[in-house]
Amino acid sequence: MTVLFWDIDGTLLTTARAGVFAWDDAVREVTGRDFELAQIRIAGLTDYQIAVKTFESMGIEADEALLHRMVDRYGELLPASLPRRTGRVLPNVREILEHLRDRSDVRSYLLTGNTRAGAQAKLTHYDLLHFFPDGAFAEDAGERSAIAARALELVRRAHADVADDKVFVIGDTPHDIHCANAIGARTIAVATGGYRIDELRAHDPWRVFEELPPPCDFARLVA
């Protein structure tokens, strides 16, 4: 059994940063102050880590409850903010997922710094949700590698025959590469998000591409 763990933003799709509307509105509601997420580099950070940075930049001491309130509100506002920008599914993504859907020896799951609600909103908007039976999501401000560990637990529970050398993380940032390393997975890094190919290569992924290869080439790579 081959398992593919997919990052969302910059890997499966780009929302063209439409999420910032929901984020800025959620910050305004939760703190009563104006805020612009555009000031912070967020590629590869989990939603909770972005919340920590947001409050830090505003000089607000945030406890766990405030972080959850902020991220939950963002998730509620996100579906309405996604249509405000024209994003897209990234090259070859839909074709690869369709090509692999009928393979009984390959399974795709989400491994993302989005919350479950945020991931659902984005994948529903871009009609990709049906490709993924489940996944591991951000649940607190902890490390992304903890999400990867939960993802691995999930697939080991679901499938008894996951081969150690057949677990792949597909992602667009050094954070994805590090979290893949943390669970002994191979990273397929793709420069369709916030990082260039040479920046990704410096973190020593298993493979790195400008964009994901066509379905047949991708399938040969992983299965």
What does the binding site for Mg ion look like in residue numbers (CB under 5 A)? 7, 9-10, 172, 193
How many other CB atoms sit within 10 Å of the CB of residue 43?
A: 14
Q: Write down the least CB distance from residue 32 to Mg ion, Å.
A: 31
Task: Give the amino acid at 37.
Answer: L
CA distances from 106 to 117, 202, 222 (A): 25, 29, 9
Cβ proximity to Mg ion, 47 vs 172, nearer residue: 172
Is the CB of 110 or the CB of 152 nearer to Mg ion? 110
Output the smallest distance, CB 113 to Mg ion, in A: 7
Q: How far is the CB of 78 from Mg ion (least distance, A)?
A: 16
Contact indicator for 91, 23 with CB cutoff of 8 Å: no
Share of the chain residues as helix, strand and coil, in percent rounded to the nearest 5: 50, 15, 35
Of the pair 14, 81, the CB lying nearest Mg ion is at 14
The nearer residue to Mg ion, 73 or 175, going by C-beta atoms, is: 175
Least Å distance, CB 33 to Mg ion, is 28
